[in-house]
Structure 1
Amino acid sequence: MKKNVLFVAVLAIALLFTNEMSAQKFAKLDKSPMDAAAYPSSYKESNKMVKVIYSRPQLKGRTVEKLAPAGKVWRTGANEAVEITFYKDVTFGGEVVKAGKYTLFTIPNENEWTVILSTAENVWGSYFYKEAEDVVRVKGAVSKSDELIEAFSIAFDGKDNDATMYFGFGNTIVTVPVKG
């Protein structure tokens, strides 16, 4: 009888523990999923010059100007501000930048965007942006896309140590040269 009671007690505790474990709540897919872009962009190339981690808001009938107002500091995506890592010293938009991890902000405008590298860390949005933490500010050239870019995107293209970083959103494409 004692063995049966002990067995039932152990079984009840095991079931409670199992239910506790299966009750774990996992977050649903984010509305602005996180993504990454790197140069070189080939997965076969492990010796990267730069990598960017960012979240991808979608227009969903809104305008770029609604999500990234002209003349105001923007987190350059959604959720956390963009994290950019340079694995070696580079020239970013014509300015020398030491290897390291930075936060990237932008100030959108019609003809050019100001692209900011900051020492800020672990920043949500641009709410706590401080100009005093700027490392460099460079100008990104603006061009227009014939096709609508629904989800904000960052990409790189180039050859050897001469690359271009692209921001694409709506019909706007912003370019910044990156040289290693």
Structure 2
Amino acid sequence: MHKLIPVLLAGLFLLTGCREPEPQEPDADRRKSPIAIAQTTHQPSNTYVKIVYGQPYKNDRQIFGELVPYNEVWRTGANEATEITTTKEIMFAGETVPAGTYALFSIPRKEDSWTIILNKELAQWGAFDYNSKHDFLRVEVPTLSTDKVTEAFTIRFSDIQEDSTNIIMEWDQARVKIPVTFSNP
């Protein structure tokens, strides 16, 4: 009987030690910024668009060019990469985007435009593992500097019309506008 106990313990150890680890959600302690959601429903086409992002605050920091470097891929918020979901096809800055969920990255520039990226790789933490091979599209959109300082990075929908809206991203003194057009049924 004494010889059987080590064999049983070894078997038990092998069975419990060889399991694949359970997938883990990002640790809430890693999230330094609250989660925010911008959403709209376009009634004539019954299209729902939702953007989920981490909402960092300025907190007396120099944002663009320092905290968020120019000419580098940025997660467009904080924590996990920002994700945009659309339930039907839309025109995003003039480009056709099928229904689905995409990671939304951006490349801020000091000049008057940013590159906005929709990437097919979801559930990324920040832009650390960003891979351009998974890009669905890249578009250039205008940015402008404002006199008003926006403390919390904010994404919202504005100028909602019968067939269009704009996605507005604001932080510090930067404002970016991405036109979105809906198809009517």
Mapped contact 1:64–1:170 kept (Cα < 8 A) = yes
Structure 1: runs of 5+ lacking an equivalent: 1-26
Mapped to 2, the partners of 1:67 and 1:160 lie a distance apart of 38
Mapped to 1, the partners of 2:50 and 2:121 lie a distance apart of 17
Structure 1 segment 1-180 matched on structure 2, within 5 A: 31-40=32-41, 47-65=46-64, 66-110=66-110, 111-157=112-158, 158-180=160-182
Mapped to 2, the partners of 1:67 and 1:77 lie a distance apart of 11
TM-score (structure 1 length as normaliser): 0.78
RMSD: 1.8
Code of the aligned partner of 2:156: A
Instruction: Give the % identical residues.
Output: 38
Mapped contact 2:32–2:79 kept (Cα < 8 A) = no
Code of the aligned partner of 2:114: W
Mapped contact 1:142–1:172 kept (Cα < 8 A) = yes
Structure 2: runs of 5+ lacking an equivalent: 1-27
Mapped contact 1:113–1:141 kept (Cα < 8 A) = yes
Mapped to 2, the partners of 1:108 and 1:81 lie a distance apart of 15
Match of 1:23 in 2: none
Code of the aligned partner of 1:114: T
Deviation by residue 1:70-118 (Cα, 9 ceiling, x = unmatched): 0000000000000100111011011111010000000000211100000
Mapped to 2, the partners of 1:112 and 1:77 lie a distance apart of 18
Return the offset for 1:48: 4.4
Mapped contact 2:53–2:83 kept (Cα < 8 A) = yes
Mapped contact 1:115–1:138 kept (Cα < 8 A) = yes
Mapped contact 1:139–1:176 kept (Cα < 8 A) = no
Once the two structures are overlaid, the 10-residue window that deviates more, 58-67 or 77-86, is 58-67
The 3-state SS of whatever aligns with 2:78 is coil
Return the offset for 1:50: 1.1
Q: Which runs of 4+ in 1 moved over 6 A?
A: none
Mapped to 2, the partners of 1:154 and 1:74 lie a distance apart of 15
- In terms of Rg, which structure is larger? 1
